[in-house]
């Protein structure tokens, strides 16, 4: 078992989160609300960074230690909620991540203004059916 899954399971046990403690629907709904809150908090940190860049009138100013700490903490919070949710649903998130990244690396077609690939370029989309933990 990978470290992330172990930590997610340990956290769920210690905080009594998941279908073992309430029905799956309510457990998932509740944890998804937490995840959305964490995404919102990360959004605030990224917006603060963008605002600092805009205020510098495009000058490269770097990231302050306060900004770095805020970004790192909120990114970690998002990962925690995703790992806990994946564990709750029996998804091997590491395997799913690897499949998705390999697919993303194969795509090389049209990109939007932000650099996101908008066409798979003929790459075969992976099947995630085998990412279920038994």
Q: Domains for the chain: give ranges and CATH numbers.
A: 1-90 (1.10.3420.10), 91-134 (no CATH)
Q: Is the pLDDT of residue 22 over 80?
A: yes
> What is the model's pLDDT at position 55?
79
pLDDT, tens digit (0-9, with 9 covering 90-100), for 90-112:
999 999 999 998 888 887 677 78
What's the pTM?
0.81
3-state secondary structure the chain: CCHHHHHHHHHHHHHCCCCCCCCHHHHHHHHHHHHHHHHHHHHHHHHHHHHHHHHCCCCCCCCCHHHHHHHHHHHHHHHHHHHHHHHHHCECHHHHHHHHHHHHHHCCCCECCCCCECCCCCCCCCCCHHHECC
Percentage of the chain exceeding pLDDT 90: 51
Percentage of the chain exceeding pLDDT 70: 95
Question: What mean pLDDT do residues 55-64 have?
Answer: 74
Higher-pLDDT residue of 134 and 10 is 10
The mean of the pLDDT values for the chain is 87
């Amino acid at each position: 078992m990978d470290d992330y899954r172990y930590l997610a399971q340990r956290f769920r046990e210690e905080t009594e989160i998941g279908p073992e403690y309430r029905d799956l629907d309510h457990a998932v709904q509740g944890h998804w609300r937490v995840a959305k809150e964490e995404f919102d908090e990360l959004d605030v940190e990224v917006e603060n960074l963008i605002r600092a860049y805009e205020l510098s009138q495009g000058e490269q100013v770097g990231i302050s230690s306060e900004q770095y700490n805020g970004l790192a903490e909120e990114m970690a919070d998002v990962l925690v909620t995703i790992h806990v949710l994946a564990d709750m649903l029996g998804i091997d998130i590491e395997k799913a991540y690897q499949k998705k990244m390999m697919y993303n690396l194969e795509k090389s077609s049209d990109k939007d203004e932000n650099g996101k690939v908008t066409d798979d370029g003929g790459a075969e989309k992976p099947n995630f059916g085998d990412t279920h933990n038994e």
